[in-house]
Structure 1
Amino acid sequence: MHELIRFIIKISIIFFTFIHASYGGGILVGQTRVIYDADKKEASLPLSNKSEKNPFLIQSWIENGDTKTRGPFVVTPPLFRLNANEDSSLRISYTGGELPKNKESVFYINVRAIPSTPKNSLNELRLIINTRIKLFYRPSGLEGKPYDAYKLLQFSRTSGELIIKNPTQFYVVFSYLMVGTTLFKDVEMVAPGGQLIVKLPESNLSNIIEWSAINDYGGDSRPEKRVL
């Protein structure tokens, strides 16, 4: 029984340590999104190991969003060791395939950080941290500017729903969306040429919309406000 208790305590300590490390002392992914311009040969994603002593095995791949289908990109290197206090970067190359040329496409980059296992470490739980960020493939010659796309969103409401239409050729990723005083935290993004329907509480009768978007660099745009 005492051995079991010590084992549980040891697991709990290591679990907490690696959860904390993923935010401060482990692998830091240098961007929250990657923009792949079609007229360039590749894009890059910087990585840093902020740990003072622990190396990590880094495994990376790109998928379509269904977590099953790989996207038409190759990540180099797909698997490598990143030592403590070292920096590196992933190179992302487009392998070809049928992608729309009149609008952006979105994929997801997965970066899996596998911690090293010290010698003579028995009964220890090692957490594998997976970071998933968006990759936007941007064809050349699209109309308009990506940083203006969020300003062009069209809003209407009917039967307790807010309808958001995106007439641009770019994805718009929300930083936040408010209808009156109601903040909607689960509204993520609206596709180019697409629409998004947001359910409104019955008590919300406001016709004032306020929103902000996340730009190419991961920052928040200036808030926009509109009266329906």
Structure 2
Amino acid sequence: MSNPTRCMPLALAVLTGCLTLPAQAAIGLDRTRVIFDGAKDAVSMNIANNNTELPYLAQGWIEDEQGNKITSPLTVLPPVQRLEPGKHSQVKVQALPGAKLLAQDRETVYYFNLREIPPRSDKANTLQIALQTRIKLFYRPAAIIPSQQELANPWQEKLTLTRQGNQYQVNNPTPYYVTLVDARSSKEGKTAENFEPIMVPPKGSLTLGPSATALGATPYLTYINDYGGRPTLAFSCNGNNCAVDLKASPGNE
């Protein structure tokens, strides 16, 4: 879940879904997630046209958690811009007055989309491909912007697990979204069978896919931080309840 989703609208073809592609986009973005500081009016991102021969248009927009395109309380400026071959530019996500009406005690998640539009081909019967990048955008209210001291002790370390039947429930007591991208029973083990990445909402809980048996009494969970890094947390369980064991977590031994 750390990598941006690349969708490919195909001209002259019937295709309504999105495909996850390994293809290299002509329009590149400088990050894999956006953290919008609620104490500021906007956040800017760097974009580049990696094609050194052709100009491209870059079209940006925002979707809500349900995938609906929105223009408030956040909007993209400019919505469309032209990038000459090999050139760089910026795109901005601007907060509108409605942003102050969002929950101020926890994050709100959106999705930032950037689509490249290639120049029209002068060749007949040409199939043109336009790649699209879709990444998470977290609106983080000013009231919960972490201090430097808090950043030194990541909030993800406050996660707990509760065994319910043959599965573990992840409990997130923090005001931040936590994205988990791996789960295993040991530091050097393989990803547990049936695991799928999940994003645990602020002050919420979600159930892990693998069975509690597959994860054992010392589960290891990997999360994505603000910078796209993937730290791993080791958990120590006592009965049905598990807490992060900082001494056993990789990097802290």
* TM-score, structure 2 normalization: 0.75
Q: Which residue of 1 aligns with 2:74?
A: 73
Q: Report if aligned partners of 1:150, 1:212 keep a CA contact under 8 Å in 2.
A: no
Instruction: Using the TM superposition, give the Cα deviation of residue 182 of structure 1 relative to its aligned residue in structure 2, in angstroms.
Output: 5.3
Deviations 1:12-37 (A, max 9, x none): xxxxxxx77x42x6111111011111
Instruction: Using the TM superposition, give the Cα deviation of residue 115 of structure 1 relative to its aligned residue in structure 2, in angstroms.
Output: 1.1
Q: Report if aligned partners of 2:29, 2:46 keep a CA contact under 8 Å in 1.
A: yes
Could you tell me the percent identity over the aligned residues?
Answer: 29
Q: Which residue of 2 aligns with 1:172?
A: 178
Deviations 1:138-185 (A, max 9, x none): 111228636611111011222221100100111112242224545255
SS of the equivalent of 1:183 reads coil
Cα–Cα, structure 1 residues 126 and 113, in superposed 2: closer, same or farther, change >3 Å?
same
Matches within 5 A, 1:1-80: 22-23=23-24, 26-70=26-70, 71-80=72-81
AA partner of residue 128 (structure 2): R
SS of the equivalent of 2:191 reads strand
Q: Which residue of 2 aligns with 1:16?
A: none
Number of residue pairs matched by the alignment: 207
Q: Which residue of 2 aligns with 1:225?
A: 234
SS of the equivalent of 1:150 reads helix
Cα–Cα, structure 1 residues 203 and 139, in superposed 2: closer, same or farther, change >3 Å?
closer
Structure 1 residue 211 and structure 2 residue 217: aligned? no
Aligned residue among 112, 117, 120 for 1:114: 117
Aligned residue among 191, 197, 222 for 1:183: 191
Q: Which residue of 1 aligns with 2:84?
A: 83
State the distance in 2 between where 1:174 and 1:168 align: 15
Superposed CA RMSD? 2.2
Q: Report if aligned partners of 2:113, 2:133 keep a CA contact under 8 Å in 1.
A: yes
SS of the equivalent of 2:142 reads coil
Structure 1, 195-204 or 53-62: larger mean CA deviation:
195-204
State the distance in 2 between where 1:158 and 1:209 align: 15
Q: Report if aligned partners of 2:37, 2:145 keep a CA contact under 8 Å in 1.
A: no
State the distance in 2 between where 1:136 and 1:105 align: 6
Q: Report if aligned partners of 1:160, 1:202 keep a CA contact under 8 Å in 2.
A: yes
Instruction: Using the TM superposition, give the Cα deviation of residue 191 of structure 1 relative to its aligned residue in structure 2, in angstroms.
Output: 0.9
Q: Which residue of 2 aligns with 1:194?
A: 204
SS of the equivalent of 1:123 reads coil
Instruction: Using the TM superposition, give the Cα deviation of residue 72 of structure 1 relative to its aligned residue in structure 2, in angstroms.
Output: 1.5
Q: Report if aligned partners of 2:166, 2:213 keep a CA contact under 8 Å in 1.
A: no
Cα–Cα, structure 1 residues 211 and 205, in superposed 2: closer, same or farther, change >3 Å?
closer
Structure 1 residue 105 and structure 2 residue 108: aligned? yes
AA partner of residue 197 (structure 1): T
Aligned residue among 123, 126, 129 for 2:128: 126
Q: Which residue of 1 aligns with 2:243?
A: none
Q: Report if aligned partners of 1:160, 1:199 keep a CA contact under 8 Å in 2.
A: no
- Structure with larger Rg: 1
Q: Which residue of 1 aligns with 2:16?
A: none
Structure 1 residue 162 and structure 2 residue 165: aligned? no
Instruction: Using the TM superposition, give the Cα deviation of residue 224 of structure 1 relative to its aligned residue in structure 2, in angstroms.
Output: 1.5
SS of the equivalent of 1:141 reads helix
Q: Which residue of 2 aligns with 1:6?
A: none
Aligned residue among 152, 156, 162 for 1:150: 156
State the distance in 2 between where 1:72 and 1:81 align: 25
Cα–Cα, structure 1 residues 47 and 192, in superposed 2: closer, same or farther, change >3 Å?
same
